[in-house]
Amino acid sequence: MDQLKTRILIADDHPLVRGALKQAVASAVAGAELVECGSLDDVTRSLDASGDADLVLLDLAMPGVRGFSGLLVLRAQYPGTPVVVVSGNEERSVIRMCIDFGASGFIPKSTDMETMQAAIRAVLAGDVWAPADVDLAGPADRDMADSVRRLASLTPQQVRVLMMLSEGLLNKQIAYELSVSEATVKAHVSAILQKLGVESRTQAVIAAARIEAFSGAVNTVNGIAVEGPH
């Protein structure tokens, strides 16, 4: 890979955290083009404008993202772009779900600079990276694995509709938010129910809880602490 052409998006809503991540990435990949994004919309706009990126470093909680929804959207909409989750939540179940949802790696925000740089290089080389104490090879819970498979089959727009359903929005409200017709929303809802193997909106919302199933933690990146569930 030509490092001079390596393009990496750093997606986090805290400028201080983005700055710390930029420092780590710049040291790991000399000459890389680094693009800062403060929301999921910023990420998709940048990817649409440029056509692609070599890597996206994604926070789990920022504007436009609820739980794993941002990861699901990016993996569905840009399947050729590796995504590494960088989060203050270090629960092993969360890390495992990120990988199962298609992330190429998971870097805890408490990771030291040297390890973070090694992780970034490993993913750019095509590897999947996670903390050494997380077992990615062991068998996953069968029910959870089925839920992950079904949720990962949703299109980006279907993920957005599902998240809005979980907020209690009506079809006409979702149509307004997404600037589409109510008939289009109804079609999305029908497709969501089929893909998730459920029969009602309520059951779909229960399934959506899998996407949001992680708790908050304090962010610390290279000594910078930022309060909040990220």
pLDDT given at position 141: 63
pLDDT given at position 229: 42
Beta bridge partners of 37: 11
Cα Rg of the chain (Å, integer):
18
Q: Which residues contact 27 (CB under 8 A, 6 or more apart)?
A: 113, 117
Please tell me what DSSP assigns to residue 5. Answer: G
pLDDT given at position 140: 60
What pTM did the predictor assign? 0.79
Please tell me what DSSP assigns to residue 144. Answer: H
8 A C-beta contact, residue 68 and residue 99: no
* Distance of alpha carbon 99 from alpha carbon 43, whole angstroms: 20
pLDDT given at position 213: 58
Q: Which residues contact 227 (CB under 8 A, 6 or more apart)?
A: 218, 219
Per-residue pLDDT of the chain (230 residues; tens, 9 = 90+): 444 579 999 999 999 989 989 999 999 998 899 999 999 999 999 999 987 899 999 998 887 777 888 898 899 889 999 999 999 888 888 898 899 889 999 999 899 999 999 999 999 999 999 998 887 776 566 667 777 788 888 998 998 899 899 888 999 999 999 999 999 999 999 999 999 999 999 999 888 877 665 434 334 444 433 334 44
Nearest to 61 by CA among 207, 213, 225: 213
Query: Domains in the chain, please, with CATH?
Result: 3-137+214-226 (3.40.50.2300), 142-208 (1.10.10.10)
DSSP helix/strand/coil, 2: coil
